[in-house]
A and B are shown apart, each in its own frame.
Chain A
């Protein structure tokens, strides 16, 4: 296998593993927070329903975490296996957050083990809730640290390059690079948003499938409220991410917006297709790009004409950007309508079609996550470390990457299908009505026993 092929297959394998991992990782970051909120509300309101909600979410969560751990271990090793030259270079400057990430994993894994196996072990329910805090913190911090590494790839700093040698390394400066604030914030908030909408989708699906239990209504209301808050935050921080790009990675923004010529008062191009270097069927919003980039209608936005051909990322990232932003706006709208409807007692929010829209919101949010990452990563091409190292220089020289790719395709198929089957069975086999009845019976039994 020639080097070009090795680069190609290394790319495909990295894309595959990360795209798969990110689904489980996003759930792993967001869901503990949701569980924590539900359990807290339950304890506060003395409402068994919310406690049970937390408990049932946790059962599903452990499965996604386990797959997240497995795929995360894979990507962690693959970074060195597929991109040895990159890791050698990056290891010198950005190893610190990677290293700290493992402590976050440790922290999370330990307390998750404890949390899982100590339900009902504490007399004081609040104590058990306390155990969840390190889990949620550990998960969010692992996202923060790994995203810092990724931010560094987009805006490397904290070292000097002298004749190909890295000197004068400053690890903290490398960590706090200009890409870091918006990137970390956007990744965290979108993970919370996505988790909230996935859990909302489950509640809505149950209501659609005939159960009319207040348990599901409470679950839906809670998660939609959370989804609303986080989707608004997502849009705001997304806007900041755009401003970051305009300042530090103008070629990525220009490619994402199909902004070819540098100019003042630039219009924003939404949707459309690119045929023979011509944009067709697009919606043009005058001055909007200038506003997005610099918060001023007349400011000048750098276009693709400022960059040499070989430094321009693939232009298809525009579609990814559209997908992400459309879904973001759509989810804000959906949750606003739901909350207004609850408040003003509109009947349509109980209608079937509206509930189906909520069900759809879960998968849509995941699609937005994928689109967002592909936008960010493909938009960085041809660089692996922007301005320092090109992707093709970083790859392994090993000749067996293609075979490994097929092995991993098989593995992810099994893991993906397996986790869907297991979650689905769990969800079907133990409806909440039955569990509530069982728990009530158990409590009554306990009481009798104590009285005797």
Chain B
């Protein structure tokens, strides 16, 4: 296999990991804030905090891994994306900072403020929106080459239906993924009030999520016909993905096997992500940047892959330990133990 392909697969795995764990985190924050507003806080807050607090830093590292990795494997992305993303990425950084500081100040530090909780919840929607701009830009048509370098055309960006549908998709999927996961989690916690509420949210967000996803494909047709054709070629992957979606909804509807429901959901998103990725190949940014002309030299690529394999050897057992102690530990999940420092 080409080193280019290995590189993009490594990054894809971590990007997908980030999308899943961050969606859970973002959505949970939003539900938490929403329940504060509607006076249902007692139902959700505990479950959410018990899950999120020990893992939020790990979530953040997934993102860091992705953006450091992409500059490592594809240094030219620093030039194209770095020059154009200053404003959207800076906004995302600031929103991420508000989120991180919520954990620092409120959960660890005990500084409680209703307004802060709401702000934290809102960042759960704005961060995916601002990060999804990167996907929009990668479709081409928003970056022009000026004499001083690449520049982002904001007007086109804000008036394009494609951008808005990608933004909306990011929001609906965040809420959907998060609700499904938390339904399962609160079931493990035997917190029946939370299960009931979250299952309702999950079912409620399932349809919007799938509709907006389909909407993107329609938008792509006019915006980037080349990409659209390649997407359509992969119709069977999307069909499978929809099948998995139906499975998740069925299980939720019946109120059984929430664990399996989440597994199916992961499969659904993984398939869609993979199909999207394959159809995007070989472009990193239409039409300027492909994974081949932006790739680093062979020596660096080889050493990065070796470092990656060695790193995984360290990481996988540690992640397993983390999950065992918090996600799959009955005593902890059910709140019988609180050994916080």
Contact = CB atoms under 8 A, between A and B. Distances in A.
A381 interface: no
Interface stretch (A322-330, A363-371, A394-402): A394-402
Contacts of A87: 71, 75, 78-79, 82
B207 interface: no
A396 B300 contact: no
B86 A401 contact: yes
A77 B260 CA distance: 37
A191 B218 CA distance: 55
Contacts of B299: 169-171
Contacts of B304: 95-96, 99
B58 A62 contact: no
Given A69-B100, A77-B89, A109-B57, A98 B68 contact: yes
B68 A407 contact: no
Interface string B308-319: 100100110011
Nearest to A419: B104
A166 B67 CA distance: 22
A221 interface: no
A311 B34 CA distance: 58
Contacts of A72: 64
A257 interface: no
Contacts of A378: none
Interface stretch (A111-119, A178-186, A302-310, A312-320): A111-119
Nearest to B299: A169
A55 B339 CA distance: 12
Given A96-B303, A422-B111, A398 B83 contact: yes
Nearest to B102: A66
A76 interface: yes
A422 B109 contact: yes
A421 interface: yes
Interface in B288-341: 296-297, 299-300, 303-304, 307-308, 311, 314-315, 318-319, 321-322, 325-326, 332, 337, 339-341
Interface in B33-57: 53-55, 57
Contacts of B84: 398
A121 B57 contact: no
A69 B93 CA distance: 11
B97 A415 contact: yes
Given A96-B300, A96-B303, A396 B61 contact: no
A105 interface: yes
Interface stretch (A78-86, A233-241, A291-299, A436-444): A78-86
Contact of A66 (B64, B72, B101): B101
B100 A66 contact: yes
Contact of A117 (B58, B90, B321, B339): B339
Given A109-B61, A114-B322, A117-B339, A70 B86 contact: no
Given A55-B341, A120-B339, A425 B101 contact: no
B60 interface: yes
B315 A107 contact: yes
A107 B341 CA distance: 19
Chain A residues touching B, majority SS: helix
Contact of A107 (B54, B108, B318): B318
Contact of B314 (A65, A83, A103): A103
B148 interface: yes
Interface residues of A, number: 81
Interface centre among B53, B79, B315, B326 (most CB of A within 10 A): B79
B68 A101 contact: yes
A396 B104 contact: no
Interface string B78-110: 110111111101110110110011011100111
B64 A62 contact: no
A99 B93 CA distance: 20
B236 interface: no
A98 B304 CA distance: 10
Contacts of A90: 75
Contact of B300 (A76, A80, A84, A93): A93
A110 interface: yes
A99 B69 contact: yes
Interface of A: 3, 55, 58-59, 62-63, 65-67, 69-74, 76-78, 80-85, 87-93, 95-96, 98-103, 105-107, 109-121, 134, 166-167, 169-172, 396-398, 400-401, 403-404, 407-408, 411, 414-415, 418-419, 421-423, 425-426
15 contacts: A62-B341, A66-B108, A67-B104, A76-B68, A85-B79, A107-B315, A110-B315, A110-B321, A113-B58, A169-B300, A397-B151, A401-B86, A407-B90, A425-B110, A425-B111
